[in-house]
Amino acid sequence: MSAYISISDFDCWMEKYHMLRVDVLNHQPSGVEANKRDLNLFSNYLNSQNIEMITGEETLKFIGWLRVERDNNAGSINRKESSIKSYVKYLRFNQVKGADAFPIESLPRAREPYAGPVEALTPDEVIKLLNTIDHNSVLGFRDLTLYTMLYSLGLRIGEALSIDIEDIDFDNDLVRIHGKGRRERKLPLTGDLLDIINKWLIYRTQLNNADTLHALFVSKKGNRLSARTAQDNLKKIVEKAGPFSIDKVTPHSLRHAFATHAIEGEQDIFVLKAIMGHASTKSTETYLHPSMKLLKKAVNEHIASEILNDLINSNIFALRIHQARDS
């Protein structure tokens, strides 16, 4: 059997594949769009190289091109690999020539070198960051509300920006979060956070389209606030408030700080999983890195510290130190 797929077959089945995922399989539109971009990128690369038959070797060259020419990281490369693998399996199901023998399962995943433990903002740094925001202007208080919710509830930036006013249950002090994979979760709103949200709703009335737009967070132009704008605004705040103990502070840093501080407070991992909207505890476990505070606590409370303390305070140890200095 031929272990290659013609570029013409690869291209002509793509639209049916995308329609199947949206109309029949009810896949998340954002995920379908991402896969579409990945497959189009692969197809454009092949056509630019005048390749008519897709082989395992050409696929590996594409992976190398992603790393060298586009400087893609391991996560981005693996997502593109996953898009190609799923599509080839679809072609197999439709008995496209060459798809059955195509060695897509042998395509190796990209790996990143170990970068060391991930560090998080300290509680004092979070306070410094939030206090740097202009609390008196409309847009400043909007940003304060947004970034406070990211930290207080451990939200992803996309989750926070997708909140509608109708998602807030003021009677029961709850907010409905639209998470990844269309999974929803309800989180409690503390009194202080609820007060900030209520105050923001008053400020919000001064923005364009506030009376007709459902979005909790509104842009200066009267649209739902975008992730790019939220990221850019935080970058300006960070530059003004810095320096910080971590190299790069992004909206996700506030979610990470929430998880880290919860672990330091000995929060149960299953409770943390539910709050953060993870599908499995494996995702939550990525936050289980010990902070320097916990490392110091563990070392200081270890029996080795007691032994060393007794040794240092003993007359014999003190005598040997003096003898060493005298010699």
User: Which residues form the catalytic set?
Assistant: 156, 180, 252, 255, 278, 287
Expressed in percent and rounded to 5, the helix, strand and coil fractions of the chain are 60, 5, 30
- From residue 94, alpha-carbon distances to 9, 16, 86, 98 in Å are 11, 11, 13, 11
3-state secondary structure of 187: strand
Q: What span, in angstroms and rounded, lies between the C-alpha atoms of 326 and 324?
A: 6
Closest CA to 190 of 256, 275, 250, 69: 275
Q: What span, in angstroms and rounded, lies between the C-alpha atoms of 84 and 72?
A: 16
Q: What span, in angstroms and rounded, lies between the C-alpha atoms of 95 and 89?
A: 10
User: With contact defined as beta carbons under 8 Å apart, do 288 and 269 qualify?
Assistant: yes
Cβ contacts of residue 206 below 8 Å, gap of 6+? 138
